[in-house]
Amino acid sequence: MARRRERRGEPSQDRRKERIGPETREEKLNDSDASERKLIGIFILFFIIIPAVSVLVYVYKYGSGTKRLEPVITERGPIKTDINFQEILTENTNVAGNESQRNYDYPVLAYITPWNSKGYEMAKRFNSKFTHLSPVWYDLKSHGNSLILEGRHNADKGWISELRMRGNALILPRIVLEAFPTELLKKKKQMDKAIDLMVTECKEMEYDGIVLESWSRWAAYGVLHNPDLRNMALKFIKQLGHTLHSVTSTRNPKQQLQLVYVVGPPHSEVLQQHDFGPADLQSLSGSVDGFSLMTYDFSGPNNPGPNAPLNWIRFTLRLLLGSTGNNAQRLAPKIFLGINFYGNDFILSEGSGGAGAILGRDYLSLLEKHRPQLQWEKNSGEHFFVYFDDNNVRHAVFYPSLMSIYMRLEEARFWGTGISIWEIGQGLDYFFDLL
């Protein structure tokens, strides 16, 4: 992350020469006035002008330039670290601001899942808050020696039509590439067929493009450990992007179909062969319109803890973009920084480890039942609480709060990235006041 550079000003010290000869009262007064004017000038120079210039230089050189309007919800004051369960239970359904007003001008991509109907409602209600909406509908699979695209039965044309009447968010359904990767990448006919299936679906269903998830699948199959197959994988993504860009939207002839590509965070400080790194970001930047960066799921059953520590998010962005430079400024706007609207309930008792993802309604039920004391973890920038269930088993719950989300939105603004939310049906209503 870019550091603020401090400027040290050392005012020059003018030694006064001794005057020869007696001074009149008028001369002394004139000399005193001149001295005062000089001191005032020095004060203005070093304490007003130079600091102001320094701030402007810092903002110009390091700031993202992304605008932010103060969220209306801050007027009520619930964005803080010292919150209690009663405040959340009382305030979570109160949406304070204009539901169509955006507080940030960077891109906002929101995922919606068919197994959580609340997401469909939130997409309609807060449509103007989003620039991209990605319903999780499709899988591209191997079927014998051929390929099939499954999921059209999930597509809700009525919902899409209603969204488009309410706002201008682009509709890019997610497609998970589950086809056997070695067959897909080694055979040009298979590659062309896969691309044709996805592009044809966009045309027939009048989508604005797609969100493609394949990198994690390829890593699981070991494809990315093979340099040749890895290069073929990058070639496939580029070809898909160029093909989509060659097609114009049926709704807007000036708009090309878009490709957003899902990437995971690195697993260690030293990039592994299967990790998506800065060279991949650079290589694909001309073919991909955005990268949905999954900066969540940091902790798991074997290592209970925060969902997306802020210092880990910063590390990931620094690794992909570097701390400064023109390259970072050019690529940052294409990254959709991942923000989770779900939480985790970890079992802490010895010998009975485990975890379960929790949605907003589950979180509120736990607050109402256990009336816990919420704690703020400074290093991760997340709230959590501990409780004992009916069997006296100890749990730790990490779930987003207004403060944790606000800090991540500001982090995106600092770096000049957009955000992607997994997923909007899992959050609390007043989260949307922040967007």
Residue 297 has pLDDT above 70, yes or no: yes
**pLDDT tens by residue, 387-432:** 999 999 999 999 999 999 999 999 999 999 999 999 999 999 999 9
Ranges 10-14, 110-114, 205-209: which has the least confidence:
10-14
pLDDT at position 78 is 74
Question: Hey, what are 228's tokens?
Answer: 């040749």
Burial of 226 (0-12, 13-18, 19+ CB in 10 A): middle
Among the listed residues 132, 150, 130, 152, the one whose alpha carbon sits nearest the alpha carbon of residue 140: 150
Kindly state whether residue 40 falls inside one of the protein's structural domains.
no
Question: Hey, what are 100's tokens?
Answer: 């169509």
**∠207-212-218 over CA atoms, to 5°?**
160
Question: Whole-angstrom Cα distance, residue 32 to residue 26?
Answer: 10
Mean residue pLDDT across the chain = 84
Ranges 140-149, 223-232, 263-272, 387-396: which has the least confidence:
263-272
- The answer to whether 293 and 336 are in contact (CB under 8 A) is yes
**pLDDT tens by residue, 76-104:** 557 999 999 999 999 999 887 678 889 99
Radius of gyration, CA atoms only, the chain: 27
- The answer to whether 320 and 277 are in contact (CB under 8 A) is yes
Strands 132-143 and 146-150: antiparallel
**More reliable by pLDDT, 57 or 108:** 108
Question: Hey, what are 99's tokens?
Answer: 């539901």
Among the listed residues 204, 151, 147, 156, the one whose alpha carbon sits nearest the alpha carbon of residue 181: 147
pLDDT at position 325 is 64
Kindly state whether residue 262 falls inside one of the protein's structural domains.
yes
Number of domains in the chain: 1
pLDDT at position 49 is 41
Residue 17 has pLDDT above 50, yes or no: no
Kindly state whether residue 21 falls inside one of the protein's structural domains.
no
Report the CATH number that the domain containing residue 203 is assigned in CATH.
3.20.20.80
pLDDT over 70 percentage in the chain? 81
**pLDDT tens by residue, 325-382:** 677 788 999 999 999 999 999 999 776 667 789 999 999 999 999 999 999 999 999 9
Kindly state whether residue 395 falls inside one of the protein's structural domains.
no
Strands 170-171 and 258-263: unpaired
pLDDT band at 55 (very low <50, low <70, confident <90, very high): very low
What is the span of the domain harbouring residue 212? 98-341+400-432
Residue 284 has pLDDT above 90, yes or no: yes
Question: Hey, what are 176's tokens?
Answer: 């998970």
